[in-house]
């Protein structure tokens, strides 16, 4: 009597809850409050940066609502890539997957650069003339977080939850300490923002500031990458994503208020770590240490979440054979996409060690922006092909199609804002995506397992 040994399919582990989803989304983005957003001040002044913050907040509220509906229904790794695969088609899915990977990998590189810059700043303040070599700290940060992601998603996002909560508490503490609620306020909004300083470049400055206004929230859509690892997608994903947007809107507004009241726009617009600088100017050594640790934790939380999200997108594309199937492997013990994690490490290191931070941020913003432009088209087709009464949804976003139309208008405005300052990079990136699209269409698509990629038990789309 003979028996055939059974084989067990090893998949990602469902171990996450709503708090982990919140930590993933906010953890990636909160670093935008600690650095990067202030380049919007350099583009148009302090008031322009505030307007960009609120307009970007509207855009990302639409992102969160649309993502919450589609992802709670398409609960699989890959996020927007998996959505595009089921709703639009393979070529769009391939491009969206690349948008995600490059947006998160470039953001990871920017975070690592900030870690090195922060340590160098602290060394100079401590009397170490000439600072320190930043490169070992950049490499150490990326390698440590990649190892943490390799070892398991529960430990990774629990770590993110703790350090993200600390970084958010640091922002609130800085506001309370400088706002005048408990002690005399050192803020000087009237003096720093009077006359031409309010809007040095006029209304055009508001438009130009939209470029870096996205940095207040860029990456919140990464909560969708946890869809295959949460215990209850219908509950955890909408709650974690929408709570994350509200958290970031509060943190962004408080950050702008404190920093614009302590630093002239000419300096704030090019500062490397503006919140840490604000703490230094507050006159409190304890507050400076607290914000220094908060800045470090925010950058680590963001890089940690970026590694998680980029690897899930790359893994999902490998599993569907959009990329070599070798990347679709799951570690038999840790239940993580370990090959995708390892493969993306040297790419992040190349950009972190060899590119200026504003270029890296722009690369990340442009990739994210291309992904956001796809989302309104995606939700409109989703509602048209599968109306509300045809399939069960975990969450239904209100006011459709107003959020989709608002997103398209805001994305178009931001593309123009990026073109004003980084037109060459914009053209180069779009050209790159056109080239890889041709490669996928004429070569790679022949290897895709076309039947196995559609995993949702939905009825045929209306009209087909």
d(CA 80, CA 77): 9
> Mind listing the pLDDT tens digit of every residue in the chain (464 residues)?
444 444 445 677 788 888 889 998 898 889 889 988 999 999 999 999 999 999 999 999 999 999 889 988 887 778 899 899 999 989 999 999 999 999 999 999 999 999 999 898 888 888 777 778 999 999 999 999 999 999 988 888 889 999 999 999 999 999 999 988 888 889 999 888 888 888 899 888 999 999 899 989 988 888 888 888 888 888 888 889 999 999 999 999 999 999 999 999 999 999 988 999 999 998 888 999 999 999 999 999 999 999 999 999 999 999 999 999 999 999 999 999 999 999 999 999 999 998 888 888 888 989 999 999 999 999 999 999 999 989 988 899 999 999 999 999 999 999 999 898 888 989 999 999 999 999 999 999 999 877 777 778 888 888 87
DSSP for 326-361 reads GGG---TTT-S-HHHHHHHHHHHHHHHHHS-HHHHH
Residue 210 near residue 417 (C-beta atoms within 8 A): yes
Q: How far from 204 is each of 84, 207, 417, CA to CA, in Å?
A: 35, 5, 9
Residue 35 CA neighbour count, 13 Å, CB half: 29
Distance in Å from the first CA to the final CA of the chain = 50
d(CA 459, CA 464): 10
- Token pair, residue 322, equals 């959009």
Residue 174 near residue 275 (C-beta atoms within 8 A): yes
Residue 217 near residue 245 (C-beta atoms within 8 A): yes
d(CA 6, CA 341): 29
DSSP for 3-16 reads -PPP-PPP-----B
d(CA 418, CA 412): 10
Crossing angle of helices 285-319 and 18-29, in 10° steps, is: 110
Residue 148 near residue 159 (C-beta atoms within 8 A): yes
Q: Compute the C-alpha angle 363/369/374, nearest 5°.
A: 135
DSSP for 219-254 reads TGGGGGGGTTTBS-HHHHHHHHHHHHHHHHHHHHHH
For the entire predicted model, the pTM comes to 0.89
Strands in 142-238 per DSSP E? none
**Domain assignments of the chain as residue spans, ordered by start:** 18-390+400-447
Q: Classify domain 18-390+400-447 at the CATH superfamily level.
A: Amino acid/polyamine transporter I (1.20.1740.10)
Q: Compute the C-alpha angle 405/419/46, nearest 5°.
A: 85
């Amino acid at each position: 009597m003979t028996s055939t040994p059974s084989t067990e399919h090893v998949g990602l582990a469902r171990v996450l809850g709503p708090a982990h989803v919140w930590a993933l989304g906010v953890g990636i983005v909160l670093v935008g409050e600690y650095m990067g957003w202030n380049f919007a001040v350099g583009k148009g002044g302090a008031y322009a940066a505030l307007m960009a913050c609120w307009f970007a907040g509207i855009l990302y509220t639409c992102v969160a609502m649309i993502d919450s509906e589609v992802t709670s229904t398409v609960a699989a790794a890959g996020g927007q890539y998996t959505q595009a695969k089921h709703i639009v088609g393979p070529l769009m899915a391939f491009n969206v997957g690349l948008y995600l990977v490059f947006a998160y990998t470039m953001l990871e590189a920017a975070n690592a650069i900030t870690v090195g810059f922060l340590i160098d700043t602290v060394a100079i303040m401590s009397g170490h003339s000439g600072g320190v070599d930043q490169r070992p700290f950049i490499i150490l940060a990326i390698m440590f977080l990649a190892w943490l992601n390799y070892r398991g998603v529960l430990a990774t996002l629990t770590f993110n939850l703790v350090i993200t909560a600390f970084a958010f508490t640091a922002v609130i503490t800085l506001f309370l300490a400088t706002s005048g609620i408990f002690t005399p306020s050192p803020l000087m909004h009237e003096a720093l923002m009077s006359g031409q300083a309010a809007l040095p470049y006029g209304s055009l400055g508001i438009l130009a500031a939209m470029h870096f206004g996205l940095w207040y929230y860029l990456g919140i859509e990464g909560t969708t990458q946890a869809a295959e690892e949460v215990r209850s997608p219908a509950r955890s994903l909408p709650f974690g994503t929408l709570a994350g947007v509200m958290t970031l809107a509060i943190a962004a507004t408080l950050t702008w208020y404190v920093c614009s009241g302590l630093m002239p726009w000419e300096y704030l617009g090019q500062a490397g770590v503006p919140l840490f600088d604000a703490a230094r100017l507050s006159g409190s050594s304890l507050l400076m240490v607290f914000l220094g640790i908060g800045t470090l934790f925010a950058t680590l939380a963001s890089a940690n979440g970026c590694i998680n999200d980029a690897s899930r997108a790359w893994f999902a594309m490998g599993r569907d054979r959009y990329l070599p199937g070798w990347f679709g492997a799951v570690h038999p013990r840790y239940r993580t996409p370990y090959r995708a994690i390892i493969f993306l490490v040297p790419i992040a290191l190349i950009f972190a060690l060899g590119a200026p931070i504003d270029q890296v941020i722009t690369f990340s913003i442009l990739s994210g922006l291309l992904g956001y432009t796809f989302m309104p088209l995606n939700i409109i087709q989703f509602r048209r092909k599968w109306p509300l009464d045809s399939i069960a949804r975990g969450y239904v976003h209100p006011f459709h199609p107003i959020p989709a139309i608002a997103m398209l208008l805001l994305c178009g405005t931001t593309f123009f804002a990026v073109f004003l300052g980084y037109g060459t990079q914009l053209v180069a990136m779009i050209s790159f995506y056109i080239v890889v699209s041709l490669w996928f269409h004429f070569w790679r698509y022949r290897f895709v397992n076309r039947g196995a990629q559609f995993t949702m038990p939905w009825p045929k789309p209306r009209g087909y």
